[in-house]
Amino acid sequence: MAQAQPRREQDMDEQLHQAALPQQVASSEQAAIRYGHVFAVTGELAGQPISPRDAAAMRSAEDSVAGVQVPEAAGGGFSAATAMETAAAYNTAVGAVAPDPASDAAAVHGISVTQTAVPGGRVVTEFVAGQVVGQYSVADPPPAAEEDATKITIGEALEATARAGGGRPIDPADAEAIRAAEMSALGADVAMPGGLGDVARAAARANTRATRDDDKVKVGDVLADATAKLAGDKAAATEDATRVVQAEKFNDAGARPRAGGVGAAVATAARLNEDNALGGDAQ
């Protein structure tokens, strides 16, 4: 009889452990962050814990709204995905929800984002189970300023280079000047992949392997119709000319700007644009 005692103690421990499990589950559920804790919702949805799948669905819905940078918080509105992700992470950590299932209300009634046009922009509204959980306004972008048609663009300056010295084989100094001009035309700090600058670089590399001048790619071959080849264009300005001339000098064996080159053409265009602007102001 004395040997049966350990068995009874083991059975008792198991029973006590099993009896404690519902209390632990209930405690986790009570600790859950529910929709009603975060959003002004009612009914069944208010009592539902926010799940990771709900948060992911809202993030996907926000990302699907074209042309909108969704704010995490802003005057006059907020988005729901960030708040839902924070709540879902907490609920998962305390064991209140499993990672995979959606909440009952969201699974049945869905998660969606709508847009309503208003003067000057749009109002974006986010829904879970048909109730609003997020809303914010998005202003329309301002209209692009019209370029002064009397000003010479960078693309036109490149085309002038093609006409003036287009028969000369293109070399690395030309290529880097063209690349700098393209970046200025696009208002970018990096060159456009596969753009005019990349074409010019490839031509300069090919010319180093060519044995006859007749086989080499000429400046005019690359810069003809430059305005059509550029992804964007703008009126040439002094800072553009400085950028292009520096690129040309840095890659020239004698560290000199090239007469009739890309730098000279952009510099001339910038100077004429500035002179015309000063003449217009004087009138």
The Cα-based distances of 146 to 143, 157, 174 in angstroms read: 9, 19, 30
**pLDDT for 240:** 95
**Distance from chain centroid for Cα 58:** 20
**Distance from chain centroid for Cα 181:** 24
Task: Tell me: pLDDT of 244 over 90.
Answer: yes
Instruction: Between 140 and 59, name the one with better pLDDT.
Output: 59
Q: Which residue in 134, 133, 130 sits closest to 71, CA to CA?
A: 134
Is residue 93 within 8 Å of 38, Cβ to Cβ? no
What token pair was written down for 158?
């490149």
Low-confidence winner among 20-29, 114-123, 161-170, 265-274 (lowest mean pLDDT): 20-29
Q: Which tens digit of pLDDT belongs to each residue from 112-150?
A: 988 888 887 888 889 999 999 888 777 777 665 565 678
How many residues are there in the chain? 283
User: How do strand 111-118 and strand 121-128 relate by DSSP bridges?
Assistant: antiparallel
